[in-house]
Chain A
Amino acid sequence: MVRKINYYLLTVVVLLSLLISFAGCVPGSNNEGASTTTFPVVAAKERFRIATTTSLYDTGLWYYLEPMFERKYNVEMDIVYAGTGIALEYGKRGDVDAVVVHDRAAEDKFIADGYGLNRRYFAYNYFLIAGPTSDPAGIKDMSPEDAFKKLAEEGKKNPAKVKFVSRGDNSGTHSKEKLIWAAAGFKYEDIQKSGPWYTEAGKGMGPCLLMANEEGAYILADISTFLAYKGKLNLIPLVEKGQIFLNVYAAIAINPEKIKTAKIQMANNFINWLISDEIQKVIGTYGVAEYGRPLFNPTSGGGCKQQGCPTVDEYSKPVQ
């Protein structure tokens, strides 16, 4: 009997010590002045975590901006990439300190529910419909709504030739796609069920472009990711003009009243930094060297003039 108890005790002690050693690994509980490399389980500086939409990540913009922010505020910035839907979910659960997303309706709800505050718009670009050079559905230069109508029509008739790859992942791009379907007079559920021409990929923007490329399919993409992937694609832009194509990126801080652990000060620093003249200039020139044109338009200067563009306050008033 005594032996048995000893054995159980031992097991309990081992489990407990494991738990304790985990707790000891929590970042931030470590000593100051360690080296800046974070390997393997050590963290010296404050960590600031954001969830960003995949389109911004896949274009490499964050690789470029991250070290600049880290240097300026002496912080270790952790960037998790996810579609707008899951990024907002991380925000709600308190797993990030700020989100960078592009889905106005979802953002409004997020803020109205009390999870987010201090939204500022810092960049915009446009969506486009890309497709194979032969353009089997014949949508070139149509309006986005008419192009979608034509795609649905031709796709149902001839699914072997006319295909469409949808993100299908609740991302900002996916939301925009649903908006266009609605504007074209369709119910999205009907489109989902309308046959094999319509594929829901459930992947990020980059992988979807590669997939559409493999299948010779049409796809709705943001122009930045499209340009960044252009070298790997045979697809060409077919529809590029339309009010509905506007795509605005917002940074939102997580509300510390709802999420106690949210680092609001650093989130505000981050948002103000994004809309600062210096970084706006950087955003406006990012990609020129590689792609011959900027991948994103900065919101400052008021270049965005159509319906749906942010107001002056929404892109230039510092948050606090």
Chain B
Amino acid sequence: MSELWEAFLQAIQLIVNLDREVVEIALRSLAISATAVIMASLVCIPVGGLIHFRNFQGKRVLINIIQTFYSVPTVCVGLFVFIFISRAGPLGGLGLLFTPTAVVIGQMVLITPILLGLTISALSGIDKAIKDSALSLGATEFQAIWTIIKEARFAVVAAFIMGFGRAISEVGAAMILGGNIRGYTRVLTTAISLETQKGELILALALGIILISLALVINVIVNFALQRY
């Protein structure tokens, strides 16, 4: 138990002293995962809306598949993307492997099912009458989807936060695609993994506490914004 307390103190110390390397790693984590979740949301939330709106054959099956992929192992996502962007792979020419961009792509792929699935669930909770009245008032399909998404914004934002949480906390894809290169692709989770490997358990735990604090700050900000608008 004293070790936990020690880790907590060390986390506070790292935060208060603004340890340069730790701050850099934390900001990089934030930047990479925020980019991933924003870019993935730009695609997934409208597409999720579209899936919810349209009736087509195999819709249930598609939703089942999407929900199944909530539990895809992060390492597998990492390997899947690795095969594509390694120099020997089809997108090798872009030279993306072991760059922050690679980690962003991996995290986007990872959270796509969550964002799609939770958007669909969020919209399912909204009264169908809203869609019908929007359409009957002359809205285009896109406008109608937008109206519904606005109506379901709390649940949609919950999906967004869930996606961000999964992105910033995953280690498999970041390790395989970023390579945990110091000063370039090292993020909080890969740093935790390395420190654990080195036997620096207290420091590893302290970094974990910093990650959770970061997530807390983000959640508070997002929810605050949501209340106001």
Contact = CB atoms under 8 A, between A and B. Distances in A.
Interface in A173-207: 203-204, 206-207
Contact of B43 (A14, A81, A204, A207): A14
B94 A26 contact: yes
B101 A26 contact: yes
A229 B31 CA distance: 34
Contacts of B98: 49, 78, 80, 95
Nearest to B182: A79
B147 interface: no
B140 interface: yes
A40 B140 contact: no
Interface stretch (B72-80, B84-92, B156-164, B215-223): B84-92
Contacts of A39: 24, 27-28, 31
A37 B180 contact: no
B183 A38 contact: yes
A27 B43 contact: no
29 contacts: A3-B141, A11-B43, A14-B43, A15-B43, A25-B100, A26-B94, A26-B96, A26-B101, A28-B95, A39-B28, A39-B31, A40-B32, A41-B99, A41-B100, A41-B101, A43-B184, A66-B182, A78-B181, A78-B185, A80-B98, A93-B86, A93-B87, A93-B88, A95-B97, A95-B98, A206-B197, A206-B198, A206-B199, A207-B196
A94 interface: yes
B100 A22 contact: no
A58 B198 contact: yes
Contact of A18 (B39, B50, B95, B196): B39
A15 B42 CA distance: 10
A7 B203 CA distance: 49
Nearest to A15: B43
Best-buried of B42, B43, B87 by chain A (most CB within 10 Å)? B87
Interface in A1-57: 3-4, 6-7, 10-11, 14-15, 18, 22-23, 25-28, 37-41, 43, 49
A80 B179 contact: yes
Given A23-B94, A27-B95, A95-B86, A11 B181 contact: no
Contacts of B104: 41
B46 interface: yes
**Which interface class (under 10, 10 to 19, 20 to 34, 35 or more) fits A?**
35 or more
B22 interface: no
A210 interface: yes
Interface of A: 3-4, 6-7, 10-11, 14-15, 18, 22-23, 25-28, 37-41, 43, 49, 58, 63, 66, 76, 78-81, 92-95, 203-204, 206-207, 210, 229, 232, 259, 261
B43 A232 contact: no
A130 B196 CA distance: 21
A7 B198 contact: no
B154 interface: no
Interface string B172-187: 0000000111111100
Nearest to B97: A95
